């Protein structure tokens, strides 16, 4: 069971620690208020997930303000029930570099990131998808099959040079559903077949140049030339994944949790 008071006490003792994986590498302790809000959201999330009866869901957070692009959430992971406990497996960028790694965390840790909005989104996957994903999430080894360390926040959805966090999640879902897809291009072919459509962001040349010069975790050279030069950046977003899961029958309509 998720014990809110115990969790708050434990996190308050850790406030002087440095940032966790996936956050900027700077010594910036979390405030007590941030801990309380994050754990309150985690507690509510666990309640809602338990109510669904599911054992695997796609779980998202609003870590950054992406409203200018018409997007609600910034990051997702694959959450699964392990006995009475919910855990999240997700990919995180390492300290704003061009590298990334996979992490397994509790629900509380997933929201302990000073998000832009303290709200979550979740999609309960279809029984068939849950049955395929759950053993992989438990065992862990297969989760590394399609992982690419080279990271770009705006990685092209149909390329293999880089891989962003949301991209890893749906490619891994594809791997679970199509075991013969042992390479990323094969997983992406399955996603195309199932009707996944990436979000197309419109970015000016100045924005692209500024992002590339100042951020190691942003690259555009994997995008097709005709799209890149016209400022059309097609990447995997949480909102596009949620819409696709519902549209394809692979998941239920999203739950809003706050």
Domain limits, the chain: 4-257
Q: Which stretches within 4-85 are classed as H helix?
A: 4-13, 32-52
Does 3.90.1720.10 match the CATH number of domain 4-257? yes
pLDDT at 248: 98
Residue 90 φ then ψ, to 5°: -155, 165
Per DSSP, the residues of 155-211 read --TT-SS---HHHHHHHHHHHHH-TT--SHHHHHHHHHHTT---EEEE--HHHHHHH
Which residue has tokens 């990323």?
184
First to last CA, the chain: 19
For the CA atoms of 138, 141, 147, 149, the dihedral, rounded to the nearest 10 degrees, stands at: 110
HEC secondary structure over 98-163: CCEEEEEEEHHHHCCCCCCEEEEEEEEECHHHHHHHHHHHHHCHHHHCCCCCCCCCCCCCCCCCCC
Is this structure's pTM higher than 0.75? yes
The pLDDT value given to residue 188 = 98
pLDDT given at position 209: 58
Given this model, what pLDDT does residue 13 score? 33
Instruction: Please check whether residue 46 is in contact with residue 107, taking contact to mean a CB–CB distance below 8 angstroms.
Output: yes
| Residue 10 pLDDT | 39
Q: Give the CB-side neighbour count of residue 149, counting CA atoms within 13 A.
A: 3
Q: Rounded to whole angstroms, how far apart are CA atoms 23 and 16?
A: 15
Predicted pLDDT of residue 1:
52
At residue 245, φ and ψ (nearest 5 deg) are -60, -45
Of 83, 35, 80, 26, residue with least CA distance to 58: 80
- pLDDT tens sequence for the chain (258 residues): 555 444 443 333 333 222 333 444 655 677 888 889 999 999 999 999 999 999 999 999 999 999 999 999 999 999 999 999 999 999 999 888 999 999 999 999 999 877 889 999 999 999 999 999 999 999 998 999 999 999 999 999 999 999 999 999 999 999 999 988 999 999 999 999 999 999 999 988 757 756 665 688 999 999 999 999 999 999 999 999 999 999 999 999 999 999
> What is the C-alpha separation between 179 and 33, in angstroms, rounded?
44
Q: Do the Cβ atoms of 79 and 56 come closer than 8 Å?
A: yes
DSSP 69: G
- Residue 16 has what DSSP assignment? T
């Amino acid at each position: 069971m998720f014990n809110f008071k115990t969790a708050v006490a434990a996190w308050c003792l850790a406030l002087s620690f440095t940032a966790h994986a996936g956050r900027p590498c700077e010594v910036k302790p979390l405030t007590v208020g941030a801990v309380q809000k994050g754990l309150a959201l985690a507690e509510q999330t666990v309640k809602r997930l338990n109510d669904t009866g599911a054992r695997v869901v796609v779980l998202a957070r609003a870590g950054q303000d992406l409203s200018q692009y018409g997007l609600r959430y910034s990051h997702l992971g694959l959450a699964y029930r392990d006995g009475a406990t919910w855990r999240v497996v997700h990919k995180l960028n390492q300290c704003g570099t061009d590298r990334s790694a996979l992490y397994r965390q509790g629900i509380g840790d997933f929201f302990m990131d000073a998000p832009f909005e303290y709200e979550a989104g979740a999609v309960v996957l279809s029984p068939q998808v849950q049955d395929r994903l759950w053993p992989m999430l438990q065992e862990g080894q297969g989760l590394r099959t399609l992982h690419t360390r080279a990271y770009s926040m705006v990685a092209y959805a149909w390329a293999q040079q880089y891989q962003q966090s949301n991209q890893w999640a749906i490619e891994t879902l594809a791997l679970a559903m199509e075991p013969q897809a042992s390479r990323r291009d094969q997983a992406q072919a399955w996603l195309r077949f199932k009707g996944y459509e990436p979000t197309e962001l419109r970015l000016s040349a100045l924005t692209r140049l500024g992002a590339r010069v100042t951020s190691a975790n942003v690259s555009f050279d994997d995008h097709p030339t005709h799209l890149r030069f016209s400022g059309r950046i097609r990447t995997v977003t949480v909102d596009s994944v949620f819409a696709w899961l519902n549209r394809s029958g692979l998941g239920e309509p999203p739950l809003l949790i706050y």
